[in-house]
Structure 1
Amino acid sequence: MKKNPLKLIIAALIISASLGIQSCSEDEYSIITIPAIGIAQDPGNFKGDIPSGQTVTLDPTQTYQLTGSVVIKNGGKLVIPAGTRIVATVGASAFVIVEQGGQLFANGTSGSPVLFTSSDKTAGSWGGIVVCGKAPINVGPSATSEIGNSMYGGTDTADTSGSLSFVRVEYAGAVYTGDKKFNGLSLFGVGNTTKVENVALVNGGDDGIQLYGGTVNVSNIVSLANDNNAFVWSEGWKGTASNIFTKRKADGTGNTGIKGMNNPNNQNAAPRSNPTIKNVTFIGGTTGEADAIQLKSGTYANLENVVISNWNTGVNLESDSTVAYFNGKKRMKDIFFDSNVTTKVSAKSSAGNNVAILDSTYIEKADATGAGNGIATPAWATGWSGLQ
């Protein structure tokens, strides 16, 4: 029987395609090796600069010993995959800083967060994470960060410094110099295309998270058992903070839930701090600065869906311009003050005189949900953040 050459060619093509498909299927199960370049080549001595044009990607199967500063320079990128552990040695020399134009991509998952921790599991035993962007600030056209000594600020509201998602930072807050300490996460002039969500700042030696101007938006933030304030802003921050859960240490020590400021040296400096704060819960204590929310130095803000429990004062307003902005203006609404809050709202002028709180300064809501579950841990925060 004579064979048809065309049929033979078609049959050969089908067999070849089948083998190709089988080969691809098997490749899906192969292990992808991440090439170690630059400062990633020695996980036991992780430190140094990431220069312009270089992208360093860490291997999530490794544990990286942060033995000094990691500096992401303008044009450099550091990529930290889900599940990566970075363990800092003791001292202020161990920290991560993103300079203007650099980018940090630390993207974990709820089941496999990126973890920054310390070999000495005590508050303030290493530095922290510092990010410097090009968005507006009100202490000048630009400035030098008080920790890290890097330039920040500018005119680019949409500047991007990368992405932080499902990241937990533990035991940060070492003394940088003099009376200046690292925070868990410090955002200096960071722009609004930088992603900051699902970030936990735990057992720190100073503030949990602090924003120095900029336009960045943050969401799903846990600030837990830090020595100082849980959430701080100043220098003209204009952004949104949503789903924020803060809680003092088990012994009740610490300071404020929120400390919001404009500019301590010029309460009317522009751009003025004026964030939107919504869906937040503050669990506190009655020692130290026992205000759940302290708004001062000319800051504005709008607050919505707030739960406050176990504080001497729920909201403390200070400085003439801040008091004038809030007093009688309904800019704090859907607030639940637990029965253990001694004073719901108080106000003082710039001269330190008590100011009477006018009607409709705040609107209460008995069933406000705050960060999602009233005074209890919200579902979005369980597990990855250290909360159960």
Structure 2
Amino acid sequence: MKKLLSLGIIAIMITTFWACSEDPAADNRVTITGIPATASIDNLGTLAPVAVTIEALDGLTTLSITKGTEVFDSKAYAGETSASYEFTYTANAADEDKNLVFTFIATDKDGDTETVTHVLTVGAAPEPIPNAVRTGIISANETWTNDRIWEIAGRVIVKDQVTLTIQEGTIIKGREGSGSLASALIIARGAKLMAKGTAEKPIVFTSILDNIQVGEKAGTNLSETNTGLWGGLIVLGKATVSVAGGETQIEGIPADIVEGKYGGGTSPVDNDNSGELTYISIRHGGTLIGANNEINGLTLGGVGSGTKIENIEVVGNEDDGIEFFGGTVNLTNGLVWAQKDDGYDIDQAYSGTISNIIYIAGAESDHGMEIDGAEGTVSRGFTIQNGTFKGMTGEYADFRDKARGTVKDLYFFNYKKADDIELDADGSVDPADASKKLSDNPGVSDNFKGSGFGFTGALVLTGLEFNSTVTDDASLQTLSAIFGDKWSKDSFLAGDTRLAADATAQAAANKATFESNNSMVTSATKTKGADKTKFTWTYANAKGKLSDF
């Protein structure tokens, strides 16, 4: 009996041993630590990075993270037993006042998982700050901040010795109105505008009708065809202006507004400093203030070289895009799109340098450039260089009024067969003798030639490239067809004793000079033009208008 009992005990022990030896190995848990169950951020805010640790002794394979039902992120692993993950999130407008559920699932090689849920609460949007309205005179330094919309109601004038600072990303809206009620920001002589936008946060001047909001770069309800909805930006200085007495009233501002004067008079200051204007987009301006008298997008009157003007865009202006009335200021990286008069306009012996510019004509645009010269005794020359001009309507350029300066290294395309560059003749009547006609043109023609009756200086057009394909004719364009010297016997100045044959010969010689210094190209062979990478920040680029530049 004892023997049988011993055998039974042995059998039970053997059975137990075999049963134990067939059990699977114990599973090792997957763990996720570091992520809190809940957190909260402000509307449009960012959750500070959270360090998450994932561990699996059997070796990690994946980490998947969902936001609600959508995949937020995923990671693959190669059997690591421990890994780190940095979790952060920036809320967008759709997240406002919501609880966002993030689910973290880690899996190991054995298929074991660990699931952790994180609820991120996003706050409600704050009530918008009411628009700030400015009208009349600014007589003390002030700053326009980017946390609200600023409205210009009528003329807003920054007085002499006062500085207006505008933060990057600020939106300024001009109210409707014309004539004496036209809205415009005017920087008077001796005042400063410190408007320093950035490529990421440009300063935008636009119409009160534009639905653009704080933090945005563009609205959705207006286009480049909406023009004349408010005035514009006017900067005035003390540099040399070629007019009688060296100073005058700026175009677009009534004569009774004393702050509308520009120029240094008999003691000009050519290095005058009116501030800094960088990364600014000016849209939908140019309202009428009188018959055939509109405000330009950006008007620069007697502005000195101490002023910094770079990265400026003008879109959809009723009058000119950017106009220089005398002065010595330089412009770098300028863009004008869809103005209704001229793109870049020069008057009164402006003598600065305009570099790296783009012009995009609209359906009602006139010239890409309109260049006038001296109106007084001072005669100086400007420089325009490194630009690309895209036509649609209007012409390449018009030179008048004893214009002198250098235009070089520009590329023109998308023009029509009849479009041209003119040394213009207006055929006006000589007030001293109604039987005679006079014009500013002989001065333009003589300056292009380099010498002539009663004029000195030069007008140089060189290194210009014209795309030989035109938009309205199968035949190719030629340099001879593009250039026109309009001087003729009827446009002689009073006292000019030259003959009609002299005018004909000079016009022919000028055409030959133009043809020898410039060239026809294709889009594949062009070597001149603007560097369009400087304009990625612009509204025009956002609308796809630089795709063929």
Q: TM-score normalised by the shorter chain: which range applies? A: 0.7 to 0.9
Equivalent-residue separation in structure 1 for 2:356 and 2:191 (angstroms): 27
After superposition, give the CA deviation of every residue in 1:314-338 in whole Å (9 maximum; x if it has no partner): 4211311211222488922221111
Which residue in 1 is equivalent to 2:529?
A: 370
Structure 1: runs of 5+ lacking an equivalent: 1-40, 373-377
Which deviates further from its counterpart, 340-349 or 353-362? Answer: 353-362
Q: SS at 2:350's partner residue?
A: coil
Which of 312, 332, 335 in structure 1 is aligned with 2:464?
335
Which residue in 2 is equivalent to 1:147?
A: 252
Instruction: Confirm or deny: 8 A CA contact 1:213 1:237 kept in the other structure.
Output: yes
Instruction: Confirm or deny: 8 A CA contact 1:326 1:361 kept in the other structure.
Output: no
Equivalent-residue separation in structure 1 for 2:208 and 2:130 (angstroms): 18
Which of 490, 514, 520 in structure 2 is aligned with 1:361?
514
Equivalent-residue separation in structure 2 for 1:347 and 1:125 (angstroms): 37
Which residue in 1 is equivalent to 2:379?
A: 272
Equivalent-residue separation in structure 1 for 2:373 and 2:160 (angstroms): 28
Deviation of residue 259 (structure 1)?
0.1
Deviation of residue 270 (structure 1)?
2.9
Q: Give the 3 Å change call, closer, same or farther, for CA 136–358 of structure 1 in structure 2.
A: same
Instruction: State yes or no: 1:59 paired with 2:145.
Output: yes
Which of 306, 310, 313 in structure 2 is aligned with 1:200?
313
Which of 100, 115, 140 in structure 1 is aligned with 2:204?
115
Deviation of residue 49 (structure 1)?
1.7
Higher RCO structure (Cα 8 Å, ≥6 apart): 1
Q: SS at 2:482's partner residue?
A: strand
Equivalent-residue separation in structure 2 for 1:330 and 1:203 (angstroms): 30
Equivalent-residue separation in structure 1 for 2:345 and 2:261 (angstroms): 20
Equivalent-residue separation in structure 2 for 1:82 and 1:384 (angstroms): 14
Which deviates further from its counterpart, 325-334 or 166-175? Answer: 325-334
TM-score (norm 2): 0.58
Q: Give the 3 Å change call, closer, same or farther, for CA 57–330 of structure 1 in structure 2.
A: closer
Deviation of residue 67 (structure 1)?
2.1
Which residue in 1 is equivalent to 2:410?
A: 306
Which residue in 2 is equivalent to 1:178?
A: 291
After superposition, give the CA deviation of every residue in 1:84-110 in whole Å (9 maximum; x if it has no partner): 001121123211001110111111011
Which of 359, 379, 397 in structure 2 is aligned with 1:293?
397
Q: RMSD over aligned Cα, in angstroms?
A: 2.1
Identity of aligned residues (%): 27
After superposition, give the CA deviation of every residue in 1:236-271 in whole Å (9 maximum; x if it has no partner): 11110001101111xx321000000014xx5xx432
Instruction: Confirm or deny: 8 A CA contact 1:159 1:193 kept in the other structure.
Output: yes
After superposition, give the CA deviation of every residue in 1:348-372 in whole Å (9 maximum; x if it has no partner): 1174576223433352354232113
Structure 2: runs of 5+ lacking an equivalent: 1-128, 210-221, 425-440, 451-457, 471-476, 492-502, 545-549
Equivalent-residue separation in structure 1 for 2:312 and 2:380 (angstroms): 22
Amino acid at match of 2:419: T
Equivalent-residue separation in structure 2 for 1:282 and 1:272 (angstroms): 27
Which of 242, 247, 258 in structure 1 is aligned with 2:369?
258
Deviation of residue 64 (structure 1)?
1.1
Q: SS at 1:316's partner residue?
A: strand
Equivalent-residue separation in structure 2 for 1:135 and 1:180 (angstroms): 24
Q: Which has the larger radius of gyration?
A: 2
Q: SS at 1:109's partner residue?
A: coil
Amino acid at match of 1:227: K
Which residue in 1 is equivalent to 2:361?
A: 248
Amino acid at match of 2:313: A
Which of 323, 327, 331 in structure 2 is aligned with 1:214?
327
Which residue in 2 is equivalent to 1:125?
A: 229
